Structure 1
């Protein structure tokens, strides 16, 4: 495959994942948690990187696209681990993190905590959450960026 076609496919994949996330949020009523929002940024960056990669030859932009895809995959796998209880997530969006606090501090944390928790699965398909699907899809996008990098 040609370099620009691979970059275009990777960009289309990131765009599709972003549009899907926005559809779940705005049409499906599933508000994103902090980790969900973090996973969107590398996809947005990949779109900008793809435009630059098509305009400018070289290895820099495909390498940056690969890094963006691997970043969102890593965030997706981290989020999956938080959802499955393999490790704790950020204290600001998980049920954990109250140990060692006074009653007043613990109450303040509860009152100021965001409504959407990172450690609860809001939607799943075939036993995998949106974070898990994002991680797997991002690995596929990383492969496309890697192939584009090799063609550079």
Structure 2
């Protein structure tokens, strides 16, 4: 099996998960907490790494880039698993909450932005289906997707 398919999955999977996160945030008002944001950074890295692997498909760098993308996806999934455990009350998470507002405002505008900003708790799932939160879905898709990418890249070692 070609490393191209592994690279394609390493690019498309995090792209789809980030698109879903952004749609849920901007389309449905499900504002991310701090741990939600932590899950996004490895996906952004995986998008870049997977994209580079696709562009450099015939290069000796394609397979290592694909493996690094899979590792980044796995890291995001691991953070998602930890976050889901916090939401389900299995263990304690971080104690801070996250809210976003524009930078570069004067003091009065900053105070208004702080007062109007939604406070998002990391230990409460804002949405779930079948008892699985967004963090739980990130865990499932990312971990299993990373395993599939690793297996695909391994089987293409000689290709």
The whole-number CA distance in structure 2 between the counterparts of 1:62 and 1:2 is: 12
Residue 57 of structure 1 corresponds to 60
Residue 20 of structure 2 corresponds to 20
Secondary structure, aligned partner of 1:89 = coil
Instruction: Return the match for 2:123 from 104, 119, 122.
Output: 119
Aligned residues: 134
Residue 48 of structure 2 corresponds to 48
The whole-number CA distance in structure 2 between the counterparts of 1:15 and 1:66 is: 13
1:86-125 paired onto structure 2 within 5 Å: 86-93=90-97, 115-125=119-129
Match status 1:32 vs 2:36: no
Q: Indicate if the aligned counterparts of 2:10 and 2:66 stay in contact, CA closer than 8 A.
A: no
In the TM superposition, what whole-angstrom CA distance separates every residue of 1:45-98 from its partner, at most 9, and x where no partner exists? 11111122231424421221121011011101100111011111111139xxxx
Q: Indicate if the aligned counterparts of 1:10 and 1:144 stay in contact, CA closer than 8 A.
A: no
Q: Indicate if the aligned counterparts of 2:39 and 2:76 stay in contact, CA closer than 8 A.
A: yes
Deviation of 1:130 (Å): 0.3
Secondary structure, aligned partner of 1:57 = coil
Pairwise CA RMSD: 1.9
The whole-number CA distance in structure 1 between the counterparts of 2:42 and 2:80 is: 11
- Normalization by structure 2: what TM-score? 0.77
Match status 1:71 vs 2:75: yes
- Normalization by structure 1: what TM-score? 0.80
The whole-number CA distance in structure 2 between the counterparts of 1:117 and 1:26 is: 18
The whole-number CA distance in structure 2 between the counterparts of 1:14 and 1:60 is: 17
Structure 1 portions without partners, runs of 5+:
95-110
Q: Indicate if the aligned counterparts of 2:10 and 2:70 stay in contact, CA closer than 8 A.
A: no
